[in-house]
Structure 1
Amino acid sequence: MAVVGAGMGGLAVTARLARAGHTVTVYEQAPEHGGKLGVLRREGFTFDTGPSLLTLPQVYRDLFAETGAPLDDVVDVVPVEPVCRYRFPDGSTLDLPHAERDVDAAIAGALGPKAARDWRAVMNDAERLWDLVGEPVLQNPLGGVRDLVRRSASVRDLMAIAPWRTLRGLGERRLEDPRLRMLLDRYATYSGSDPRRTPALMTVVPFIEQRFGGWYVLGGLRRLGEALFERCVLLGASFRFDTKVETIETRAGGVSGLVLRDGERVDADVVVSDADAAQLYGALLPDRRARRARRALRKVEPSLSGFVLLLALRGRTPDAAHHRVLFPADYDAEFDSIFGKDPRPVPDPTVYVCHPADPSMAPDGAEAWFVLVNAPRQGQVDWTAPGLADRYADRVLEVMANRGLDVRDRLLWREIRTPADWERDTGSVGGAIYGTSSNGPRAALLRPANRSPVPGLFLVGGSAHPGGGLPLVGMSAAIVSRLVGPA
């Protein structure tokens, strides 16, 4: 059995399939595992270059428990408190706590009792949506609209999901405080999307964060990927790094193997692809049976990408928070810059900052900061143009300073990651962080199916059902392992 790609989806499905008795070989074009869950280590500083917050940790607790030793035996998973500190355009701030029981009081204290009541009402409705989609939809194969309808218990359930309503529209109807509307809009970016086009169903994202909390892995979230890789090796899986798959070969009965970049052919009657679905169907799989899947992908929009600064800073930050989000005055201008007719680097972006209170991540008396801003994909903007990355990095630091977080005089050095780097390093189209966006009902609910049109070929990872982000990627691996079955 062959797995194409050693991102978190590829690793998770490999562990499950190896545990089920399959002989698994993983082919990864990069020199190491992890995909977007990357790491940079330099001069005593350690940076997670991908996800920095774990929600729904039970997905990985189940994975590790079902493949060997429990998760807590191999990594330290700790709560993040607060989960995030938000700074709004008027200078007000909101610390959203880890524990759901404390959320109402935090919002009331920062934004007023009316805001807390409004938010709670939206989250109560989101709880019902989670009951409707959490297990029936997200944790089972979904092959199309018929599956979605079949998994809904009633017409009332479909009306509750209401895919024609947008996240922005719900906020405008239900949340009086513009700061709360801005907060709700932000959760569209968890799937790399535009809140003006993302279905209101995405209210389940903040609900999940508040119901199950935000978590961090000591030593960085990369440790989760390393622990999962070690689990795969213990279970007998083989890995071939620096090995690019050029073609997935098929025959009348289904998949037959792989052709590697050097011309080597590998026989396999089961292939699991952790490659971006657009890359799989557009480049790796010439089979005519995939024509419908290719057409469907052409109708959806890839997710946004990200521009990242890794900052090595001298000194310590008073009143630090693990995560900060610094909102702009005009949030719509950001989405226009990314998803509009003339994509360009966002002039005044939302800035996301992570600086964990983890002494293992930086030398004594120093801090390692991960800074992310949403960005158009490579190809929409030529991020390799001379000087662009450095100029934009300077602009992001200036924006941070204008919003009360000036670290320029503390800067020892910086590393820059652009959408072009994400595309090169992960194979995602244009450096799209989440595969396809959730811009529209079909894109949000009907991502590429885990079972391909070619027998024996399966899709795992953030570009396939149920979507991007560590929890959903873990769910996709569980779905695929059930579809493949035991050896």
Structure 2
Amino acid sequence: MARVAVVGAGLGALAAAARLAALGHAVTVLEQAPQVGGKLGWYARNGHGFDTGPSLVTLPQLYRDLFAATGGPLEDAVDLVRLDPAVAYRFADGTRLSVPGDAAAVPAALDAALGAGSGAQWSALMARAAAMWRVTEQPFLRSPLAGAATLARLARSGSDVATVAPWRTLRGLGTAYLRDPRLRTLLDRYATYSGSDPRRAPAVLATVPHVEQAFGSWYVRGGLRRLAQAVAQRAVEHGAVVRTGTTVEQVLVEGGRAAGVRLAGGEVLRADVVVSGADAAALYADLLPASRPTRRVRRDLARSTPSLSGFVLLLALRGRTPGIAHHTVLFPDDYDAEFDAVFGVGRHRGAPQPVADPTVYVSAPDDPATRPDDDSESWFVLVNAPRHDPAGGVDWDAPGLADRYAQQVLGVMARRGLDVRDRVRWCVVRTPADLERDTRSVGGSIYGTSSNGARAAFLRPGNASPVPGLFLVGGSAHPGGGLPLVALSAEIVAGLVGPA
């Protein structure tokens, strides 16, 4: 039996804690916030409740695997509801598209909304994405990152390399398959699932819409925070100790290996294994002492492009919106201008800034747990935003900026047909600076590093650190961000640590 200290209580860290506790290890989870969940947060006030992070579950089988490995069915712990429609899109030209939850019905819906042939174009792209998924799932997503060896696994055949097309961007893949610019815009959106720019992100991100459509989009009744709570409960049932309100200030390294953690206030918790669910950049910059073994990882992090962040409005609304989907996406006229502003490239080279005309994502779950009565709604509104960087980019703490930008976003929504300004009971604004403070993610980068560039995935920190006994889970480590991938990171780490 190993003593395991888990830094953070995000979903990846909790999943690792549950798996390791079920394997017989003595696990202690240390979370700075007063509750578990990390970015899978919850905000409640006056009967209104909001998921403040992810708003859907894809690849639920990964969580079924987690719960099966730790003692019981997922459906016994949470109430999963399949979304139909999965998402509703509104394009800049006024076109509306409702994507069915059943993948078989998607081509017909595309033809009806965008014109004959649109469904066939999308189906051809999804067939390519399914092939990409088959090639990469086991050798990359489900395996530890191992530099050249990982590349060798992926390059085991020339046809596999041609399928993945590592030299091609997501934008380039869309251009090759999709003639309708609205379809290309829809595909571009999936780069943001890893905090990336579709013009630089790899084509293999086309697997994201494939997974979403093939395996469904799911909601957890009562809010996705219940998934984090259920995973934490599973860890506790196997003997894990969860300490909230406990900040880790340093990962201790003695004799060249991880030896435990030092907490705020000076308490030292000895451990044989440390699993960090903290942002990888924060771990290597702030929690670990500089050393020769970690030099390469620090260099790779410095060379990577940080992921985008998000600017959020939590809107407590009077009344109900007829026909509003669980997820609605309002696209701008110029999507490229959004990525230029967020990443400080193109027309905004070197000067990231809030997006003037952003894509707006609205999550409006029809769930009594999120509202005080049946004449109310609780909307989580997100726009892509540059990270908090007072020294070289946007200072989201600048006086008045957050409030001005909140009004700008509400105005954008009104121009695109969702004017709720006269229905707002109250609004809470959450900026990238708030996300950084709440989760210790550097600059509020949602996914740590982006997938911008062909080598980005291989610059992402591996699950086994260069320090023996120290492992990484969560969205900033391999294989990346999002609820499915953080579950895989936990599975990989549990395999690396092994049974007691």
TM-score above 0.5: yes
Q: 2:483 aligns with which of 470, 473, 481?
A: 470
Displacement after TM superposition at 1:362 (Å): 0.4
1:205 and 1:140 map into 2 onto residues whose CA distance is 18
Q: 1:48 aligns with which of 41, 48, 51?
A: 51
The 8 Å contact of residues 300 and 460 in structure 2, kept in 1 or not, is answered as no
Displacement after TM superposition at 1:446 (Å): 4.4
Match of 1:112 in 2: 115
The 8 Å contact of residues 201 and 453 in structure 2, kept in 1 or not, is answered as yes
Q: Structure 1 counterpart of 2:295, which letter?
A: R
Match of 1:356 in 2: 365
Q: Structure 2 counterpart of 1:153, which letter?
A: R
| CA offsets 1:312-340 (integer angstroms, 9 cap, x no match) | 00111111211000000000100010112
The 8 Å contact of residues 87 and 98 in structure 2, kept in 1 or not, is answered as yes
1:456 and 1:375 map into 2 onto residues whose CA distance is 36
Match of 2:384 in 1: 374
Three-state SS of the structure 2 residue aligned to 1:393 is helix
The 8 Å contact of residues 149 and 158 in structure 1, kept in 2 or not, is answered as no
2:378 and 2:153 map into 1 onto residues whose CA distance is 48
Displacement after TM superposition at 1:301 (Å): 0.9
Q: Structure 2 counterpart of 1:23, which letter?
A: A
Match of 1:414 in 2: 427
The 8 Å contact of residues 154 and 160 in structure 2, kept in 1 or not, is answered as no
1:319 and 1:274 map into 2 onto residues whose CA distance is 39
Displacement after TM superposition at 1:76 (Å): 0.5
1:463 and 1:299 map into 2 onto residues whose CA distance is 14
Select between 401-410 and 142-151 the one with higher mean Cα deviation.
Answer: 142-151
Q: Structure 1 counterpart of 2:451, which letter?
A: S
Select between 426-435 and 240-249 the one with higher mean Cα deviation.
Answer: 240-249
1:102 and 1:145 map into 2 onto residues whose CA distance is 41
Q: 2:300 aligns with which of 296, 305, 309?
A: 296
Match of 2:35 in 1: 32
1:443 is aligned to 2:446: no
Three-state SS of the structure 2 residue aligned to 1:113 is coil
Match of 2:339 in 1: 335
Match of 1:138 in 2: 141
User: RMSD value over aligned CA atoms?
Assistant: 1.0
Q: Structure 2 counterpart of 1:297, which letter?
A: L
Aligned length: 487
Q: Structure 1 counterpart of 2:480, which letter?
A: G
Match of 2:195 in 1: 192
Q: % of aligned pairs identical?
A: 63
1:311 is aligned to 2:315: yes
Q: Structure 2 counterpart of 1:113, which letter?
A: A
| CA offsets 1:167-187 (integer angstroms, 9 cap, x no match) | 111112221100001001000
Match of 2:186 in 1: 183
| CA offsets 1:19-45 (integer angstroms, 9 cap, x no match) | 000000111111211000000111111
TM-score if structure 2 supplies the norm length? 0.96
Displacement after TM superposition at 1:253 (Å): 4.5
Q: Structure 1 counterpart of 2:282, which letter?
A: Q
Q: Structure 1 counterpart of 2:356, which letter?
A: P
Displacement after TM superposition at 1:445 (Å): 4.6
Q: 2:224 aligns with which of 221, 226, 231?
A: 221
Match of 2:212 in 1: 209
Select between 130-139 and 326-335 the one with higher mean Cα deviation.
Answer: 130-139
Displacement after TM superposition at 1:267 (Å): 1.3
2:367 and 2:417 map into 1 onto residues whose CA distance is 23
Structure 1 gaps, min length 5: none
The 8 Å contact of residues 170 and 200 in structure 2, kept in 1 or not, is answered as yes
The 8 Å contact of residues 304 and 459 in structure 2, kept in 1 or not, is answered as no
Displacement after TM superposition at 1:242 (Å): 1.9
The 8 Å contact of residues 275 and 470 in structure 2, kept in 1 or not, is answered as yes
| CA offsets 1:169-227 (integer angstroms, 9 cap, x no match) | 11122211000010010000000000000011110011001100100000111111111
1:155 and 1:234 map into 2 onto residues whose CA distance is 47
| CA offsets 1:66-113 (integer angstroms, 9 cap, x no match) | 101211011110111111000001000111111111111111111122
1:239 and 1:445 map into 2 onto residues whose CA distance is 32
Q: 1:344 aligns with which of 324, 340, 353?
A: 353
2:211 and 2:19 map into 1 onto residues whose CA distance is 25
Structure 2 gaps, min length 5: 345-349
Match of 2:279 in 1: 276
1:242 and 1:145 map into 2 onto residues whose CA distance is 40
The 8 Å contact of residues 198 and 444 in structure 1, kept in 2 or not, is answered as no
1:389 is aligned to 2:402: yes
2:257 and 2:159 map into 1 onto residues whose CA distance is 40
Q: Structure 1 counterpart of 2:61, which letter?
A: Q
Displacement after TM superposition at 1:399 (Å): 0.2
Match of 2:17 in 1: 14
Runs of 4+ that moved beyond 3 A:
none
Three-state SS of the structure 1 residue aligned to 2:174 is helix
1:322 is aligned to 2:331: no
2:244 and 2:370 map into 1 onto residues whose CA distance is 27
1:77 and 1:446 map into 2 onto residues whose CA distance is 35
Match of 1:23 in 2: 26
Displacement after TM superposition at 1:443 (Å): 1.3
Displacement after TM superposition at 1:151 (Å): 4.3
1:132 and 1:474 map into 2 onto residues whose CA distance is 20
1:234 is aligned to 2:237: yes
Match of 2:78 in 1: 75
2:96 and 2:58 map into 1 onto residues whose CA distance is 23
Three-state SS of the structure 1 residue aligned to 2:138 is coil
Match of 1:93 in 2: 96
1:400 and 1:274 map into 2 onto residues whose CA distance is 35
Three-state SS of the structure 2 residue aligned to 1:102 is helix
Q: Structure 2 counterpart of 1:310, which letter?
A: L
Displacement after TM superposition at 1:161 (Å): 1.4
The 8 Å contact of residues 446 and 465 in structure 1, kept in 2 or not, is answered as no
Match of 2:414 in 1: 401
The 8 Å contact of residues 142 and 446 in structure 1, kept in 2 or not, is answered as no
